Structure 1
């Protein structure tokens, strides 16, 4: 296998074939259904799926069946089935990615925007390019390179959904409905994760679970003049008292045991290696304001905090007017959107019930308190790799990047991974991605690091081909 030849082919296919449609995709506001209640009427998800379907067909892979599935009321699914290069290769690889996007968010640079593709300093800026439309281009390009070079590959099925950012609510249906096509993979490659830096391939070893809910405190039937304060507690002060039941405001520690799980020793050892490799980049990856510091200078502890320790973020507020409309009023209620991240192996359903009971019990001043948690997501820990696959991944990463493969957990979650682990308990998993330092998925100035993704495509191609030598 000529590694330099494969890397050159990846560079060509990205420059000549991939970047133009990927830039066009960025212009489509294909926001995930959870953020666009009229997604079906607006048609942006379908438009994005059709754009990518067209590119896949034009790529001209041998033995390739492409289906764009659009049942009434369900989000579009791209299901692509590429037959093995030879019938003697009987195993199957399942690729996963998604094409729905997070909302716009504010704060983009003046020359950039969520629906405005800009290439600057080898980075493609715009919403959704890195999270996660690149995935289908990467997987299909890797297979194309192998076919053009006459190198072997197993049967590959691509499952590209359009509701991941909303919890993958249609995926169970599709997995059941098309089980006959999908079959039973021996390897799952998920291209929707992160990387510690842009110098090497990174395998995601764990994903935190999630609980997303709204805490509401109501103390008055109507707003009153703030002269009534002192006689009636403010709903915000009551909110603070309730939050102190679940989070230590000084340390950020979560006070509910059900959100915690111990860090396995081998994961801790991987974090120590990653901390040594990444060094100060662990800290500089975050856009801190001048003079601000992270919660600790201990780099290993920062990785534990970010990938295994439960946390609470406050992601939205209601019942509070904008500053320019803030009168002297004691408001009747306050609602906060709470986003919990919990240890990868903790039970989110059990934890959600406990949170609700702690927050709603004995409300101060008899206020009406509710915690509604419509969404929970399971965490995930990577099953151990078998020795042959481990060797293939490490060698392919080293050959293509020139550096050892890194192993690191991610602070976010991918709902599908736990689902697939349960459906395919004998499968091995490669979870990787392009969301590295400052790539800022979900925020302003999201970007795809172009040299990194070209090399990742080469690495995926090497892994696919080398697997054929293991059977």
Structure 2
């Protein structure tokens, strides 16, 4: 493969074709279904899929088939099937390239001159919701396939899956995988472009993703509120009972999770990876968070902070109800308190077992006989990358040297991508490359989201090289 021609092809495509269409995608308010109850009526998810489908179909990839797949009541999915090049043997199997087209809501005020549905290019940045997370992915995957062919390289049969429910936890994806199972074929390589890393200097590879269990916990003691002067000391506060229950789940001094089903041994190689990350990239090992003056982190050991964020369970209270605003709070013993529990689970924890244990802990021997409701569950398994095959290790070294001038770097991620665990179960022998163009300051999920355009081009080139290496490795097997 002519590597210079590959790079030129990618650079030209991004400038002339990708950025105009990606900017058009930013303009579509394709908010994920969990944040838009009228998503089907509004039609924005469908519009996003059609926008990208039209662009890919017009590219003229030989033999490519683009199809919008829609199961009843489920958010649509774009399925693109690209035949293998003539030089790729059938033993190479199928490459599955994954991304998503749904978006987070605007979530706050954007800076002057910027807006969630307003694409703006300033220097090397494309601003707008979904530009980096994850609208660019379908364009990068398609451009990589095109460039491989133009540069005389090879690629195995490739399928591109662009879903529209990732930001909602991918609730429809299992049904689509079952529906498309026979058409996916024997997947031997998965490339997920919904990731990223700490900077824009190297290719970042995700080695693990945490799972999650979310639930709403409600404590009820009274039919109606009563004057606190009459009721306090006779009936316990629902907030105090809530505190007691939360203390069953989490050590209030250390934050350690007490539910055994949520805790797993940390593999030695991940401990070593965390130490290497801290030693080699201290500026990105631990996210720089907007802490207030005088606030201390939970540990002074940065390796432990990395492990806390990637392999240890944590609890966050992300919402509450039954509590009036302090400015209007009267002297009332409130009848109930409700909180939203959000657990992040280790990559190898069984999320369903964790959910069942959570429900059992909260509803057994309840203090004062309070009425407890636990519901509105969201359950997500984590993912742990398999060991890289020799061909993939060699290809990643080459990508590091030739594309970025720096070695690739692996790291665990504190968030989750539901698709990875699903595919890991379905294709246990497949190789996985979870990467992407997100940096730690790309503002995914918050105002002023932006895509680093030169880095996105490099990620596209990296994917193209991996496609060629995979096809050749398959041909030699």
Give TM-score, length-normalised by structure 2: 0.93
SS of residue paired to 1:255: coil
Aligned 8 A contact 2:2 2:151 in 1: no
Structure 1 position 312 matched with structure 2 position 315: yes
2:353 to 350, 355, 369: 350
Gaps of 5+ in 2: none
Aligned 8 A contact 2:27 2:119 in 1: yes
1:113 to 115, 119, 131: 115
> Which residue does the alignment assign to 2:56?
56
Alpha-carbon distance in 2 for matches of 1:88, 1:55 = 26
> Alpha carbons of 1:329 and 1:446: their partners in 2 closer, same or farther (altered >3 Å)?
farther
Structure 1 position 424 matched with structure 2 position 427: yes
Structure 1 position 407 matched with structure 2 position 407: no
> Alpha carbons of 1:364 and 1:186: their partners in 2 closer, same or farther (altered >3 Å)?
same
SS of residue paired to 2:467: helix
Aligned 8 A contact 2:9 2:150 in 1: no
Spell out the pairing of 1:281-320 with structure 2 (5 A cutoff): 281-283=284-286, 285-320=288-323
What is the CA deviation profile of residues 188-238 of structure 1, one whole-angstrom value per residue up to 9, with x for unaligned ones?
111112313211111111111110110111122112334343443332222
SS of residue paired to 1:115: coil
Aligned 8 A contact 1:35 1:103 in 2: yes
> Alpha carbons of 1:88 and 1:152: their partners in 2 closer, same or farther (altered >3 Å)?
closer
> Alpha carbons of 1:116 and 1:319: their partners in 2 closer, same or farther (altered >3 Å)?
farther
Spell out the pairing of 1:28-427 with structure 2 (5 A cutoff): 28-86=28-86, 88-90=88-90, 91=92, 92-227=94-229, 228-283=231-286, 285-323=288-326, 325-427=328-430
SS of residue paired to 1:217: strand
Aligned 8 A contact 1:3 1:400 in 2: no
Aligned 8 A contact 1:89 1:155 in 2: no
Gaps of 5+ in 1: none
> Alpha carbons of 1:284 and 1:259: their partners in 2 closer, same or farther (altered >3 Å)?
closer
Alpha-carbon distance in 1 for matches of 2:290, 2:102 = 25
Moved more, 393-402 or 41-50: 393-402
Distance apart, 1:287 and its partner CA: 2.9
Q: CA RMSD in A?
A: 1.9
Distance apart, 1:120 and its partner CA: 3.4
Alpha-carbon distance in 1 for matches of 2:238, 2:21 = 50
Alpha-carbon distance in 1 for matches of 2:287, 2:176 = 41
> Alpha carbons of 1:321 and 1:21: their partners in 2 closer, same or farther (altered >3 Å)?
farther
Distance apart, 1:284 and its partner CA: 5.4
What is the CA deviation profile of residues 319-354 of structure 1, one whole-angstrom value per residue up to 9, with x for unaligned ones?
223455544433221211111011111111111111
> Alpha carbons of 1:363 and 1:180: their partners in 2 closer, same or farther (altered >3 Å)?
closer
Aligned 8 A contact 2:97 2:141 in 1: yes
Aligned 8 A contact 1:348 1:378 in 2: yes
Give TM-score, length-normalised by structure 1: 0.95
> Which residue does the alignment assign to 2:461?
458
SS of residue paired to 1:433: coil
Alpha-carbon distance in 2 for matches of 1:289, 1:59 = 50
Aligned 8 A contact 1:286 1:437 in 2: no
Distance apart, 1:373 and its partner CA: 5.0
Alpha-carbon distance in 2 for matches of 1:24, 1:323 = 44
Alpha-carbon distance in 2 for matches of 1:88, 1:349 = 41
Distance apart, 1:4 and its partner CA: 4.2
Aligned 8 A contact 1:194 1:410 in 2: no
> Which residue does the alignment assign to 1:15?
15
> Alpha carbons of 1:250 and 1:109: their partners in 2 closer, same or farther (altered >3 Å)?
farther
SS of residue paired to 1:245: helix
Moved more, 380-389 or 360-369: 360-369
> Alpha carbons of 1:450 and 1:329: their partners in 2 closer, same or farther (altered >3 Å)?
farther
